[in-house]
Amino acid sequence: MRREPAGDVVRAKEMDETVSEFFRRTILKIPLTEMMTILKTWNFLSENQLQTVNFRQRKESLVQDLVLLCEENRASLNDAALLDIIYTQFHRHQKVWDVFQMSKGPGEDTDLFDMEQFKSSFKKILKRALKNVTVSFRDAEENAVWIRIAWGTQYRKPNQYKPAYVVYYSQTPYAFTSSSQLKSNLPLLGQTFETHNSTTPLQERSLGLDINMDSRIIHENKTEKERVQRVTQEIFGDYPQPRLEFAQYKLETKFKSDLNGGILAEREEPLRCLVKFSSPHLLEALKSLAPAGIADAPLSPLLTCIPNKGMNYFKIRDK
């Protein structure tokens, strides 16, 4: 009997586990009130399969049941990416979007647009420039296509949990991009559009590259960014922060909730826990949270008071 090399078996198993975990995390973030609607929009699980699921059970158990159904259907990484796109479409208002306007040179006519050719070309151009990248598409209304890009590096596989999203309207010069944490990939994304469309580059002006923006469309986004920068500078200043590697908070307080009743609400003893933030440069990391869109501005006073108090160990008790 011929035996497969052990290494190949391990790699296949790891890939399956990676896809299953991607599904688990994606389904877990879908609110229960939207679960059925999003799953039906996804249209990967059949109506009969959905009827076998108890949507009133604990969410962890529900997620596990749905993941098992996905495995039975031999779902792929692209299937999980499509589910993530649909979830993002339902919650697009929660993201910060940059609007880019592309323009053709003088005398250039508008091209006849082939959506399938665009998808194929877009993916090939990105993969040619960066081997480790996954690209998924979902058509939307008004000749728009949603593009989900999970970036990797030359040596690391794509990070499926920090993707960038692009909404491209084929019959207009506009493309909308979500704020990606991997800002270094914006030039590559712009060059991809430029190569396919023969238009002017699609990068942000802050990168020193050309872009034509409609200031009316991005005004609200620009105003919010300016507010965040102003608030951050007021709290942390415009100078380098002192180097600090951790901050620790010891909580001793009674449980508080707007909901009546519950075991924790009736508990007389205070809740006790320990929360520790650590980083090679904690204060600089905290300072960058709001401008990066990871946290709201201003940050909690429990975090911003560290430099003023000259402390990195706090006890939080009821007054």
d(CA 247, CA 236): 16
d(CA 206, CA 211): 10
Nearest-CA neighbor of 96 among 222, 190, 226?
Answer: 222
Tell me whether residue 2 is in a domain. no
Tell me whether residue 314 is in a domain. no
d(CA 297, CA 308): 18
Tell me whether residue 203 is in a domain. no
Amino acid identity at 10: V
Residues linked to residue 173 through DSSP beta bridges, in sequence order = none
Contacts of 183 (CB under 8 A, 6+ apart): none
Looking at the structure of the chain, the number of domains it has is 3
Q: Considering the entire predicted model, what is its pTM?
A: 0.57
Tell me whether residue 141 is in a domain. yes
Nearest-CA neighbor of 18 among 77, 87, 67?
Answer: 77
Q: Are residues 228 and 295 in the same domain?
A: yes
pLDDT at 258: 52
Tell me whether residue 87 is in a domain. yes
Q: Are residues 177 and 241 in the same domain?
A: no
CB 195 within 8 A of CB 176: no
CA distances (Å), 19 to each of 15, 125, 156, in order? 6, 25, 16
Q: Are residues 138 and 64 in the same domain?
A: no
| Structural domain ending residue among the three candidates 94, 123, 141 | 94
Pairing of strands 97-101, 174-178: antiparallel
pLDDT at 262: 56
Nearest-CA neighbor of 294 among 281, 302, 303, 285?
Answer: 285
pLDDT at 183: 57
Q: Are residues 228 and 283 in the same domain?
A: yes
d(CA 292, CA 294): 6
| CATH number of the domain that residue 162 is part of | 3.30.310
Q: Are residues 132 and 175 in the same domain?
A: yes
Q: Are residues 67 and 124 in the same domain?
A: no
Tell me whether residue 43 is in a domain. yes
Contacts of 105 (CB under 8 A, 6+ apart): 200
d(CA 168, CA 120): 15
Tell me whether residue 90 is in a domain. yes
pLDDT at 84: 97
Tell me whether residue 211 is in a domain. no
Q: Are residues 133 and 166 in the same domain?
A: yes
CB 197 within 8 A of CB 102: yes
| Structural domain ending residue among the three candidates 152, 177, 195 | 195
Own/partner contacts of 262-266, CB < 8 Å, gap of 24 or more, are: none
Q: Which residues of the chain have pLDDT under 70?
A: 1-15, 101-113, 179-188, 190-221, 256-266
Residue range(s) defining the domain that contains residue 132: 97-104+112-195
